[in-house]
Amino acid sequence: MVMTEARGASEITDPAQLRQQLQDQGVRFLLSSFVELTGIPKAKLVPVTHLEDVAKDGAGFAGFAVGNMGQGPHSPDIAAVPDFTSLTVLPWRPDVAWVAGDVHVAGEPWPYCPRGILKRQIARAARLGYSFKVGVEPEFFLLRREANGSVSLADAADSLAKPCYDQRTLSRNLDFLTTLVGYLQELGWDPYANDHEDANGQFEIDWAFADCLTTADRFIFFRYMTKVLAEQQGWIASFMPKPFSHLTGTGAHFHMSLWDAAGDRTLFHNPGDPMGLSDAAYQFIAGLKVHASALAAITSPTVNSYKRLVMGNARSGATWAPVYVCYGGNNRTQMLRVPGPGRVENRTVDGACNPYLAMAALLAAGLDGIERGLEAGPPEHRNMYELSPETLLSEGIAVLPATLSDAIDALEADEVVRSALGADFARTYIAAKREEWESYHSAVSQWEIDNYLDIY
């Protein structure tokens, strides 16, 4: 139970006392970490003997070397100031503790820090009397790279047409999964369900929901830990949204609810409502629907994300991914599913998302729905994959963006979501994603060679 102790330690606010406690439990190093625009963690390894220094001044980095941090090679250092409430002792390496940081420059919060962007929305929600809780359902593939460079499933026997929940396939992977889930238990995250997912080679690990910042930090750590543990087996754990065109893609569904500012009382639950939702929950849903296209640019942030948000082409029979802007009850063809009373599941979010940005944008959109008293409209009960183009048109059902390029256009046009990101960061994000799209679009693919080369 190393981690439970460490989280206890993290409640100590005096850095000298925290250092002593960590040293007493055998921690020798800190991974003083933060993420940039893509959500990929960066870190410095700091001997725990220097914890007081890093607590005061942060760990220093050349921002331009990191990625998109709003800096050039001439800019002053960025400093990742650790938030010790996120302190997490590496379960496989208990002499090292990871900690998430908030980026500062010259002593001031830096507007290009995704964690800072989420904290700003959390503060805004608190001013309105709300706190935001989120649970995430991360899916991932376990893969291996062959000598010839090709990628195949880590478990070569995982070949059923409908592998979801398959007990024998799950059992062949017990060593990896029980190690991973055991670590989550040690960390005190309360994992409660794990399954073989709908694609060959794909798994999902679920743990208890928490305040949005805690869940975002944990999702960052979870991706890192899963990738490290897979690497130790010679495998790749991939959270890429759609690694195989014929298999179901990789979601990271967010289960969301608003609570009172103290986080004690849910404001989404109404036992008298058919779906168990309050008026505020319906207005939050309405906000997510109104801003759906712009939100996609954040929750589904890569070129590849849009190859997941389709309804055909999955070997298992369904992609289980949303295509239309809609909500409904316990129905997995919806963009927003209400699986039970008092919460809303957003199924657009994928494994490549930056959870800080995704949560900030979703919270801002939901709050906009509440502030403007927007109407969610009637819930959907149909199999959305079966609706004809005529029905979609006559009922005015909106389609999620088909490409990253379309999503970025929608983000550019959406003042609410852009201002949640902050004007400077939004501009940088839009420019970076346009560049990503153009780089992709300018590459001639094998599909084009196969379909055009000897035709035209």
Residues of the shown chain interacting with Mg ion in the complex, contacts defined by CB under 5 A: 204
Compare residues 131 and 169 and give the one whose CB is closer to ligand GLU: 169
- Residue 300 within binding range of ligand GLU, rule CB under 6 A: no
Q: Classify the C-alpha dihedral 238-239-245-246 as positive or negative.
A: positive
- Residue 139 within binding range of ligand GLU, rule CB under 6 A: yes
Please report, as a single letter, which amino acid is at residue 49.
T
- Residue 82 within binding range of ligand GLU, rule CB under 6 A: no
Give the distance from CA 28 to its chain's centroid: 30
Cβ 252 to Mg ion shortest distance, Å: 9
291 touches, from ligand GLU, Mg ion, none (C-beta below 5 to 8 Å by class): none
For 286: left if phi > 0, alpha if psi spans -120 to 50, otherwise beta; the answer is: alpha
249 touches, from Mg ion, ligand GLU, none (C-beta below 5 to 8 Å by class): ligand GLU
Cβ 94 to Mg ion shortest distance, Å: 31
Rounded Cα distance between 130 and 281, Å, is 12
DSSP conformation class of 77: P
| CB-based contacts of 245, cutoff 8 Å, min separation 6 | 307, 313
Pick one of 155, 198, 345, 368: the residue that binds ligand GLU (CB under 6 A): 198
* DSSP letters spanning 235-254: -EEE--S-S-TTS---BEEE
Interface region with ligand GLU, contact rule CB under 6 A, candidates 64-72, 226-234, 242-250, 375-383: 242-250
- Residue 345 within binding range of ligand GLU, rule CB under 6 A: no
- Residue 196 within binding range of ligand GLU, rule CB under 6 A: no
Compare residues 197 and 380 and give the one whose CB is closer to ligand GLU: 197
Q: Which two tokens stand for residue 368?
A: 């906009």
366 touches, from Mg ion, ligand GLU, none (C-beta below 5 to 8 Å by class): none
Number of chain positions touching ligand GLU (CB under 6 A):
12
Cβ 204 to Mg ion shortest distance, Å: 4
Helix axes 355-371, 279-290, angle to 10 degrees: 120
Rounded Cα distance between 238 and 333, Å, is 24
Rounded Cα distance between 147 and 9, Å, is 45
- Residue 305 within binding range of ligand GLU, rule CB under 6 A: no
248 touches, from ligand GLU, Mg ion, none (C-beta below 5 to 8 Å by class): ligand GLU
Cβ 27 to Mg ion shortest distance, Å: 34
Question: Quick one: CA torsion of 74, 80, 81, 86, rounded to 10 degrees?
Answer: 170
Compare residues 158 and 204 and give the one whose CB is closer to Mg ion: 204
